[in-house]
Amino acid sequence: MTQETMDGPMDPEGFLSIAREVFAPLYPFYAGQFLDWSGLRRGLCLDLGCGGGDLGLAVAGQSDFTVVLMDRSPVMLAASARLARERGLQGRALPLAGDACALPLADGCADLIVSRGSLMFWPDLPRAFAEVRRVLSPGGTACLGGGLGTAEMRQDICRKMAGRDPRWASGSPPPPRPGTSPRNHEKALREAGVTRYRIVREDTGHWVVIGG
């Protein structure tokens, strides 16, 4: 789920339409960025709160990672499985129902964890960050947060979204949800006992990078 498409419940088809038609350039862009940050090209990647699976499958398409596509929504998991088949990646994509606050995965199993736009929906951030740290492998990296890519990507996305959602009519994204600032994320990381992290700020958002 993403802030840009949800201020409350939204129909799955509408969500997927926006992800595939408006935000599509973001997924390969950030997949490449996360792979560079991690320095890894193979292992197990977890796309946490995967929605339609676009980000995790972009990671798989640019690397040799096997990707777990995790979401709470059966509709989104089915959509991510369809997209994996369309891209010929079904052999390296594993849809899995799960919650960020109680990951159904073994300790230290994930080499790369990615999530774009889902942190704001995690009901207990300290618990979720602790779970991310638990399943992250030694030497692994987690990249969690949100952004709109380059200035050109942001401009194009804002223009397209203005025709779909009046909250974008000003030419800028809607204000962030309360509690999603870097300061609040740092507070939750400390409460979770996570010490190896950094906050990467961009013009269009920020990322919590754990490990790496």
Task: Name, in order, each residue with C-beta under 8 angstroms of 139's C-beta and a sequence gap of 6 or more.
Answer: 111, 211
Q: Does residue 7 form part of some domain? A: no
Of 160, 188, 40, 63, nearest to 110 by C-alpha is 40
Q: Does residue 3 form part of some domain? A: no
Q: Does residue 75 form part of some domain? A: yes
Q: Does residue 185 form part of some domain? A: yes
Are 168 and 174 spatial neighbours (Cβ–Cβ below 8 Å)? yes
Can you give the pTM of this predicted structure? 0.93
- Weakest mean pLDDT among 65-69, 74-78, 163-167, 195-199: 163-167
Domain count, the chain: 1
> What does the alpha-carbon distance between residue 174 and residue 196 come to, in Å, rounded to a whole number?
31
Q: Does residue 190 form part of some domain? A: yes
Q: Does residue 5 form part of some domain? A: no
Q: What is the CATH number of the domain that holds 94?
A: 3.40.50.150
31 lies in which domain range? 12-211
Evaluate if residue 99 carries a pLDDT over 70.
Answer: yes
77-83 contacts, C-beta under 8 A, 24 or more apart: 77/50, 79/12, 79/16, 79/51, 79/52, 79/53, 80/50, 80/51, 80/52, 80/53, 80/56, 81/53, 83/52, 83/53, 83/54, 83/57
Q: Does residue 1 form part of some domain? A: no
Q: Does residue 105 form part of some domain? A: yes
Q: How does pLDDT run across 134-146, given as a tens digit for each residue? A: 999 999 999 999 9
